[in-house]
Amino acid sequence: MGHLWIPDIPVWEKLLRSFVIYFFILIAFRFTGKRQVGQLTPFDLVVLLIISNVVQNAVIGNDNSLGGGMIGAVTILVLNWGVVEISYRFKFMRRTMEGNPTILIHNGKILQENLKRERITLEDLQAALRKNGVVEAGQVRFAVLEENGQISVIAKN
């Protein structure tokens, strides 16, 4: 019964594995775009599920104990709390972790290069405009892809 609770690998190794994988995933997703969870495509969801399965063994190692799983989970939760706290307190870290807003439309002109860089299709942009009550880009003063993945639209008067 003790084997159920006691990790098969040293606690320091469990902490290190969780730490490395957390920051690896955080950095990897930082560079893959600004989509919100609610905007995930089926392809994005498949990637998330596969990645979670792939990194599971890197986090747990040869350990299937309950204690080891709880140590890994608590480590990741504490790391996440720390990252959120640091990004809240320090603007530099917030910009580093979340990125900067990107202008997609300026005075009715669609900035194709910015759409391309952010991997936003014209259809996605048009859907965001419609969601904001705008029919065409010519009616827009600014459309901005925010750090959180939402597209803000400011219509011309």
- Model confidence over 128-140: pLDDT tens digits? 999 999 999 999 9
Torsion angle of the four alpha carbons 128, 31, 92, 79, in this order, in degrees rounded to the nearest 10: 110
Q: For residue 32, which of 128, 79, 99 has the smallest C-alpha distance?
A: 99
CATH level 3 topology of 102-155: CRO Repressor (3.30.240)
- Model confidence over 27-54: pLDDT tens digits? 877 777 666 555 667 777 777 778 887 7
Comparison of pLDDT for 48 and 141, the residue scoring more: 141
Mean pLDDT for 50-59 is 80
Torsion angle of the four alpha carbons 5, 6, 12, 16, in this order, in degrees rounded to the nearest 10: -50
If one counts every other C-beta atom within 10 angstroms of the C-beta of residue 70, the result is: 13
3-class DSSP state of 6: coil
CA R_g for the chain: 21
Domain boundaries defined on the chain: 2-98, 102-155
pLDDT of residue 78: 92
Q: Whole-model pTM?
A: 0.65
Q: What are phi and psi of 71, to 5 degrees?
A: -60, -45
Residue 111 CA to residue 24 CA, distance in Å, equals 32
Q: Which residues make beta-bridge pairs with 109? A: 106
Q: What confidence tier does 100 reach under pLDDT thresholds 50, 70, 90?
A: confident
3-class DSSP state of 142: strand
